[in-house]
A and B are shown apart, each in its own frame.
Chain A
Amino acid sequence: MKGYGGLRAESAGRPGTGRAARDDPAEPPGPVLEVTDLHVTFGAGAGAVRAVRGVSYAVRPGEVLGVVGESGSGKSVTSLAVMGLLPPHARVTGSVRLHGREILGADEKTLSAVRGGTISMVFQDPLSALTPVYRVGDQIAEAVRIHRRVSRRDAARRAVELLDLVGIPDAARRARAFPHEFSGGMRQRVMIAMAIANDPDVLLCDEPTTALDVTVQAQVLEVLRRARRETGAAIVLITHDLGVVAGFADRVMVMYAGRPVEAGTVDDVYLRPRMPYTAGLLAAVPRLDAAERPVPIEGAPPSPAALPPGCPFEPRCPLAVPACSAAEPALEPVGSPGHLAACIRAEEIEAAGGAPLAVRPPGALPAETGAEVAAGVLPASGVPPVAAGVPEEPGGRAAPPPRRDREVVLAVDGLVRHYPLTKGTLLRRRIGTVQAVDGVSFDVRERETLALVGESGCGKTTTLMEILRLARPQRGTVTVLGRDTAALGARDRMAIRRDLQVVFQDPMASLDPRMTVYDIVAEPLRTHGVRRPGPRVRELLRLVGLEPGHAARHPQDFSGGQRQRVGIARALALEPRLVVLDEPVSALDVSIRAGVLDLLADLKARLGLSYLFVAHDLAVVRHLADRVAVMYLGVIAEIGRVERVYAAPLHPYTRALLSAVPVPDPGAERSRRHILLEGDLPSPADPPSGCRFRTRCPLFRMLNGAEQARCVGERPPLRMLDDDHAASCHFAERSGAI
């Protein structure tokens, strides 16, 4: 495609929003950063990877441009190319103008003068992006001293100021700490402080919140907003999270296979998408605020080394026509001014007036195909498809009997898991006890999904590992299928392992890379004495939607979604009754995620499975779980039916958590009230007395002295407040006040 400088400033003005700091709304200033027809190629010849193919955009002071794309869409490479930070073997062409001055291909002297000065960057992973051996204060001071002639002492003072600005408490003392002594959110604040040290005009943020928890993400976005106010910088926000962009950006550019496919104001793109990929992506995001199930986009993005000749989205596009594969469509204006889309049918879509992909394509519903597969395949294995005793409804779709009549498959009561906390490698000493899980109780009944949600460090993974160990817990009891794990002999434990299976988060890490898919799926069968697992393996692969003919391949030869399907097939091999899902979709791209979620929901209904589902993403939970337990710092804050908890959360933490999840809808996101939690998660080695949430609780601050004393002194029990809805807060009834 030719360099279409469409996303230029003149076509992108959004007067009257008042969200960007502008001196004179009547005459918008020229762009600070202008990227035109940027191309990046790695390697040469037949194996060349064209990572970026013609990106153009411009941003003006104070403006926020969101760049959205899935992994491999070239969005991060673009920003590194702008900074001139790509490795030397990358070939970069096009133009990057900063204040009208060309910086692409400039010599190192020029580049290092603008980097960190006029234009600076916030990287994704703040742990690896900070030098581990220097104090954070010194690292920020270094950034100051590179661009300004100031004394060491002044630079150090400026560093403390900056740390204070980004909201690091006790900045003067914390400036002397090393990066590893900070939490992820604090580290990202340090990165931002470093990036704004010299009042940059442009701030490139590459997935600045991806590695963070939602409540921390909300804090960091707030810091970015403040940074923009302070410096008046233009921000380019690169992310895969449509929700973050909806609430933060003025304009948005959607990238696919190395080039922009749609661009425009946030409202235009989100509410009136004109490119089928954008529409599909929006429909594929699990949403917190809508009950509709997300709709997957079929297939996977093309490999950048082997792009189809025409529209790169053609293999996956439900609206594709033969003309689509003729030539790559250019990014052209469509509809309202400043709205651009790269689709030959954009005009038609515009005329039809809607996003065509928000509905499931007819005839592809999992209920139908699923039932066929189930009917055709499962009886062939010669075993009843569902656990004995439970009659299968036709198609597995009918509502199960009421909860209290169903068997309890997993009961956890007062579970405790503490770790010793040691310090020092050279002089190791025990300095405390990490109370990872401290008295957790819940149960899972037949054919139901319980989600365990919480942010990192809340103890959800530890809980899961304790259950899977099938051994005596430190305190409390774990009962799996009616058997107390503390009293299990080796043989019983082996028998229970048949019925209790697990699907892990990262499908790449959970499948042995040295084994073929056949051996991976056959391993549980062989371990439990099945001599010739062949037919069953084939049947399982078909069940999860994989081609049995691919059984001889290695996991590396599959895409992420397919790999997770292999993991699911392995978990189902022994016909378990309870499957533990450890963040099964969080490592997958948005467009693929929905497909795996659909498969899980479908399998559950057909095979009568029960799931214990551990996740941090509340939106995903909403669409898979029946009940949800919210964990905070080793205890359960709230538990109940999903609809109830999401509609009327009782615990202040649940409220804050739900409000922090960004929604991919600009209107809704702007008007929503966000409860911003302050501070970091306290150390689980030294949890607050009484209520563990009190140090960050917004309700706590509204209470009077006597009430506060109760929060400090008395640990709130998990109180049943409604039918199957309990929360551990003394004042849960008043949580609506926040």
Chain B
Amino acid sequence: MSVTDEELAEQREAGNRLGAPSRLRVVAGRFFGSFQGRAGFALLALMFLLAFAGPFLGRWSYTDRDFTAFLAPPSADHWWGTLQTGADVYAVTLRGMRRSLVVGLLAAVVGTTLAAVVGAFAGYFAGWTDRALTWATDLLLVLPAFLILAVMSPLFASGQWPLFVLVLALFLWMVTSKIVRGVTISLREREFVHAARFMGVRPTTIIFRHILPNMSSLLVVDATLNVSAAILTETSLSYFGFGIQPPDVSLGSLIADGTRTALYAPWTFWFCAGLLVVTVLAVNMVGDSLRDAFDPASGRGRR
């Protein structure tokens, strides 16, 4: 065999693929190549812009009360109308959205990280580690999350929302963790993991260097979808008064107030409900497009 000749031939062949784009760029290309991805991303960006820059445009702050206008319909003065208390709907809604977005994002990141670590350790080490971790996972699956969160709600009194985020995350990770565990078990038998093991690489290093990176697509997609799950849970809790506590507001508490007046003052309900729906929709669209972008086989053009 001639190493040099084959090298030449292979180089020529490799020449066709030169500039092989990095994986990130491929994924980004596919993501933005789909309408759904573009639309989802644009909507989400818009929502963030609105939540964080929007309040500076309005004339009212979310703590202000306009005692000249109770439950007033949208006008030049109050763009989205006012509530029964005289609060400006535009200001409070954006404030609530900001809180919901932050809570959702943080809870999703914490939850997915937890899921990844617990699932990977359970799957990789098997035996007692696996049994203990799986049992804990099952326990949390069996505990009614909504009830626990609701019971603990007095602890989340004003200013304690980071605690709320943590507890929320604690109930978000179980299903993902089970999936991660399954994927880990199959990855553990893959040859490149064997190779690392037979090379003498330490187990924890293998988990963080070979196992978790190889399911990054799963984790990214899952984190995205967890954002919407967290936002929805937060909203529902707050709707019943068990989530974000007054005087802080979130979309959920606003919607709860709005439903009471929705029939005769639609603006108190539809603006916050609409923004919530659009936000979750955008997050879901991004998540779904990401999944397709990471794994083209899951979407179009399977052979």
Contacts and interface: CB of A to CB of B under 8 A. Distances in A.
Interface of A: 42, 87, 89, 296, 298-300, 302-303, 306, 315-316, 361, 363-366, 369-370, 373, 468, 493-494, 497-498, 500-502, 504-506, 509-514, 523-524, 527-528, 545-547, 550, 553-554, 556-559, 561-562, 567, 570, 594-595, 598-599, 602
A537 to B, nearest CB: 15
A369 B192 contact: no
Given A315-B13, A364-B2, A369-B3, 9 more contacts: A296-B1, A303-B13, A315-B9, A316-B9, A494-B200, A514-B23, A554-B23, A557-B14, A557-B20
Nearest to A366: B1
Interface in B1-16: 1-7, 9-14, 16
14 contacts: A42-B303, A298-B2, A361-B5, A366-B2, A497-B200, A504-B191, A505-B191, A512-B192, A512-B214, A528-B200, A545-B3, A554-B20, A559-B13, A599-B3
A370 B9 contact: no
B213 interface: yes
A523 B214 contact: no
B10 A595 contact: no
Contacts of A550: 14
Nearest to A555: B192
B200 A545 contact: no
A602 B2 CA distance: 11
Nearest to B211: A512
A370 B12 CA distance: 22
A497 B191 contact: no
Nearest to A542: B3
Interface string B155-175: 000000000000000000000
A557 B26 CA distance: 13
Nearest to A503: B195
A95 to B, nearest CB: 24
A726 to B, nearest CB: 30
B196 interface: yes
A528 to B, nearest CB: 7
Nearest to B213: A514
Contacts of B301: 89
B1 A599 contact: yes
Contacts of A514: 23, 210, 213-214, 216
B199 interface: yes
Contacts of A363: 2
Nearest to B20: A557
A498 B3 CA distance: 27
Contacts of B9: 298-300, 315-316
Interface of B: 1-7, 9-14, 16-17, 20, 23, 190-192, 194-196, 198-201, 210, 213-214, 216, 301-303
B198 A299 contact: no
B17 A509 contact: no
A554 B14 CA distance: 12
> Counting chain A CB atoms within 10 Å of each CB, which of B1, B194, B201 scores highest?
B1
Contact of A523 (B14, B201, B303): B201
Contacts of B210: 512, 514
A523 B199 contact: yes
B2 A315 contact: no
A655 B2 CA distance: 36
Contacts of B20: 553-554, 556-557
Nearest to A90: B303
B214 to A, nearest CB: 6
Contacts of B2: 298, 361, 363-366, 369
A509 B6 contact: no
Nearest to B21: A557
B190 A545 contact: no
Contacts of B4: 364, 369, 545
Nearest to B195: A510
B14 A299 contact: no
A302 B201 contact: no
A599 B190 CA distance: 25
A462 to B, nearest CB: 13
A529 B285 CA distance: 46
